[in-house]
Amino acid sequence: MSFIAQELVGTGHEVTVLTGGGCKGRGPESRESGITIVRVGSARKKQGSATIFEMFSFCVHSIPFILCLDRKTITAIIAFFLFPTGPIALALKLRWGIPYIISLRGGDVPGNELRLNRLHQLLYPVRRAIYKNAKHIVANSQDLANTARKHDNIAIEIIPNGIDTKFFCQDRSLENACKKPRRPINFLFIGRFQTQKRVPELLKALIRIRKVHNLDFVLTLVGDGPDKQVIDHLIKGSQSACWIHRAGWQDTIRVREFYWRADCLLNLSSYEGLPNTVMEAMACGVAVIASDIGPHRDLINEGETGFLISAGDFKTLEKRIVLCSSDRYLLGKIGKNASQKIKEKMNWAQVAGAYEKLAIGSLTR
C-alpha cells in the first residue's frame, strides 16, 4: 500500500502509516519519502504474510498509539484488511471520532479461506461493529464484494488494486537476449505454496502434458509455503528437476526479472482478491493462463489478454499449454495487449485518486 501513500503525498496530503514489526534501530517513528512511518513493535517474522498471533500482536501493540494520538494530526483513516487493522480503525473512531474506510483484500472476507472460517465466526460481532461504523467499505474486485455481501448485508464500492506501471513494464532489452525463438517456452508461477494456489495439481498436469506431447518447455516456481514438501516430492519423484526450477521468495527487483524472462504466467488459484502477481505479469507483457474466477475475469479477456480455465478442466488447460508452447507469436501479441490494459486501467495514480475522493467525502458526511 506504499504506492497509495506516495501518490497521496504527491497530491499534497500528510500521510501516516501504522505498521507492525520491530523498529530495527530506526526508532518507533521515522520519515520515509515524505511519509510518517509508525512501527508499533509487534511480532512479525515475514514481510509478505502474518500469522494469527502476529495479527493479534499488532492490535495489542497499537493500543498506545490509539490512546496517545494527537487528534489534530489525523483527519481520515484508510484501513487495509478488515483484520487486523479494522479493530484499530474502529477504536480510533470511537475514541477520537475519526472517520475510516475499510478496504477488503481477500482472506479477510469470510468464505475465501476455509481454514479461517472458525475465526471469522468468532469475530462476527467485531466485524459487524467495524462495518457499521465505517464511512465506506471497499473491495478490490466485484467477486470479492459479492462474497462479502453473502455474509453481511453491506454496501460495497469497488476500487481495484494498482500496479507501479513505471517499474513493472515490458523490457525491450531482454526481448532478444531472453526470448530467442529456439529457446523453450518458460512458464512461471509466483506465489505462496498453499492449498488455495493448487500448485501440486498444476505440477501433476504439466508433468503429464509435457510427457504426452513431447513438449520442450520449462517451469519456474517462485515462492514458498506449506505445500513446499509436496511440491519437492513431485519434482523428485517425476525426475523433473531438469525442467522445473524452484526459487524461494525474491525481492521486487528479482521478481521483475523473472517476469521479463517468462513467456506465460500460470495461476490456477481457487480464489483471489485481485491478484497482484497476475497484474504485474500482464504489465510486464507476459501472457497469463489463469483460473476462471471473478477477479481473473476482471483482468483477462479470453484470447486477447490471456486465457481462463474452469476449475478442474485439465483438458482445456492441456490445449492452452500445447498452444502456448508452439505459438510464440501469439504469446507476444497477448502479452502486449495485457500490458496496455494494465497501463490504462490499473495504475496507482487512479487507485489513490479513488481513495482520496472517498476520504475527502467522508469528512463532509
pLDDT digits (tens, 9 = 90+) for 80-89: 999 999 999 9
C-alpha cell at 241: 528437476
Give 200's pLDDT tier (boundaries 50, 70, 90): very high
User: Any idea which residue has 497476475 for its cell?
Assistant: 278
Read off the pLDDT of residues 99-112 as tens digits, 9 standing for 90 and up. Answer: 999 999 888 999 87
- Determine the Cα–Cα distance for residues 129 and 145; give it in Å rounded to an integer: 18
- Determine the Cα–Cα distance for residues 285 and 59; give it in Å rounded to an integer: 40
**Which residues are registered as beta bridge partners of 137?**
102
Is the pLDDT reported for residue 156 higher than 80?
yes
When mean pLDDT is compared across 20-29, 143-152, 170-179, 194-203, the lowest value belongs to 170-179
Give 177's pLDDT tier (boundaries 50, 70, 90): very low
> What is the structure's pLDDT at 77?
96
Is the pLDDT reported for residue 299 higher than 50?
yes
Give 365's pLDDT tier (boundaries 50, 70, 90): low
Q: Specify the pairing of strand 35-39 against strand 16-19.
A: parallel
Q: How far is CA 194 from CA 113, 115, 207, 223, 231, in A?
A: 11, 11, 19, 10, 10
Which domains, from first to last, does the chain contain?
2-162+347-362 (3.40.50.2000), 173-345 (3.40.50.2000)
User: Any idea which residue has 524452484 for its cell?
Assistant: 246
> What is the structure's pLDDT at 30?
87
- Determine the Cα–Cα distance for residues 179 and 176; give it in Å rounded to an integer: 6
When mean pLDDT is compared across 44-53, 249-258, 289-298, the lowest value belongs to 44-53
Give 176's pLDDT tier (boundaries 50, 70, 90): very low
Is the pLDDT reported for residue 190 higher than 60?
yes
> What is the structure's pLDDT at 224?
94
Is the pLDDT reported for residue 273 higher than 80?
no
Read off the pLDDT of residues 37-69 as tens digits, 9 standing for 90 and up. Answer: 999 988 877 766 788 899 999 999 999 999 988
- Determine the Cα–Cα distance for residues 136 and 139; give it in Å rounded to an integer: 10
Closest CA to 31 of 10, 8, 15: 15
pTM: 0.76
